[in-house]
Structure 1
């Protein structure tokens, strides 16, 4: 009687073993790719961060030229405590605001970049807050009077395309240029993103909001005022502004 030959490739055990091998192989390939690309990804993030910081003071560059221009224009990188005093042993560029915001104010690190462009000094402050769906963040540069905004850059992790995500657009960022962060009484109030604000005044502490993005706009307002408040002690040592005595 003739014996039947069993095709082992059609058995359940073969399929199961093959699937396990493929999962392991794919996992190893993906892990290797992630590890190999990690240094490049980190470098891209560093260069993009430099680009954003430089953009607040009007220095535009691509990633390839970011580091050279950063070293050229950024003259100091400080880390302050909540009393405006410089902290030693902390690199401003390495401070992660996402982690800092989880700490109490007295334990946070407050990075500050000081730039010199065409003979003018600017103070650049990192920002981070909450938008509609996720974190929003960016940088704001102040002129030497630490009252007038030179420029700002905003970004987000998950705002709605065409609405809140528009905070990244140049036309929105330009609304902040030359706005004041102190009011007429010398109190630091930042800049409010206000729906329907048609005023062209740069002394009213307000810019026009993005239609349909009220919550994101409120997040930008809150982010600016909250972050800047922590730099008041440092500002007081650098300006003749009549800062309110209770701040």
Structure 2
């Protein structure tokens, strides 16, 4: 009987020691690779920002290309820049979940389906030959199955689109997932988000294709075939973030006063 108890104790002891050793290894690996994970995350963010703005070119590293970009944190309520946060480390998605740094949206306000909106957001300014050439805005909103996260790039006039790209979503491949199709993304450059003389969002996806006979074609994008709800979601999220609740005050101020 004693031998049997000793055997059970030894088995439990060995199992316990294995658990301790494994937990130490896992914890150690998490600490060791944390810095690498953060570097990869930052590199991915920079890559997506550059891609949306059409700035990814062969022969140069992401960091070399990103050197022309200056991030600034903006107060979405006033449209003013703020030095309250470090733009390189500020996490606006995290801030959107913090009641002290965000606000809950009513049903009428929440056209993008994000539930809460952060009070501060990061914009990315691109300079060329000493002058501002592009403004890149983070955007997000709900489609059919998921929240789409991406970047909208504008010319220095704060009105003409350079590009739109999504780096995270779970829309249906071949339908809503066509937001990743280069042919569809190529429809965005040159489109205008506002009508001349106004700050009312006009850009939208329509059912079917845009052609020479489409009224206000400069504000229209081909809808995603077979993906009505995703198309509507893209329209809603873009209009939300360039509207009064999003970057509207900033873009209005920018068009009047510049950087």
TM-score, normalised via structure 2 length: 0.76
RMSD: 3.1
Question: 2:111 maps to which residue?
Answer: none
Cα 1:115/1:131, change in 2 over 3 Å? same
Aligned residues: 233
- For the residue of structure 1 that corresponds to 2:255, the secondary structure is coil
Alpha-carbon distance in 1 for matches of 2:190, 2:180: 18
CA contact (8 A) 1:190 1:228 kept: no
**Contact 2:199/2:248 (8 A) holds in 1:** no
Correspondence 1:154 to 2:166? yes
Q: Shift of residue 100 of structure 1?
A: 3.6
- State the secondary structure of the residue aligned to 2:56: coil
Offset at residue 173 of structure 1 (A):
1.9
Q: 2:54 and 2:174 mapped to 1: Cα distance?
A: 25
Cα displacement (A) at 1:7: 8.0
> 1:164 aligns to what?
176
Tell whether the 8 Å contact from 1:115 to 1:122 is kept in structure 2 after alignment.
yes
Pick closer, same or farther for the CA change 1:156–1:178 going to 2, 3 Å: same
Contact 1:190-1:224 within 8 A present in 2 as well: no
| TM-score, structure 1 as length reference | 0.79
1:99 paired to 2:111? no
- Name the larger-Rg structure: 1
2:236 to 222, 228, 236: 222
The change in CA–CA distance for 1:14 and 1:39 in structure 2 (over 3 A counts) is same
SS at match of 2:242: helix
Cross-structure match for 2:37: 41
Contact 2:124 2:137 in 1 (8 A): yes
What is the rounded CA distance, in whole Å, between the counterparts of 2:151 and 2:126 in structure 1? 13
Give the Cα–Cα distance (whole angstroms) in 2 for the partners of residues 220 and 127 of structure 1: 10
Structure-2 change in CA distance of 1:216 and 1:12 (3 Å): farther
Contact 2:125 2:132 survives alignment (8 Å):
no
1:188 is paired with a residue whose SS is: coil
Q: Deviations over 1:23-53 (max 9, x none)?
A: 3322222222222111111101111111111
Q: Does 1:233 align with 2:249?
A: yes
Q: Which moved more, 1:221-230 or 1:37-46?
A: 221-230
Structure 1 unaligned blocks of 5 or more:
1-5, 241-247
- The 8 Å contact of residues 56 and 151 in structure 1, kept in 2 or not, is answered as yes
Contact 1:134 1:157 in 2 (8 A): yes
Matched, 1:50 2:46: yes
- Structure 2, unmatched stretches of 5+, are 105-116
Aligned-residue offset at 1:60: 0.8
Distance in 1 (alpha carbons) for counterparts of 2:40 and 2:128:
24
Confirm or deny that 1:77 pairs with 2:71.
Answer: yes
SS in 2 for 1:93: coil
User: Could you tell me how far apart the structure 1 residues matched to 2:16 and 2:84 are?
Assistant: 49
Which residue does the alignment assign to 2:108? Answer: none
Counterpart residue number, 1:245: none
Shift of 1:122: 0.9
Matches within 5 A, 1:107-126: 108-117=119-128, 121-126=133-138
Mean Cα deviation higher: 137-146 or 194-203: 194-203
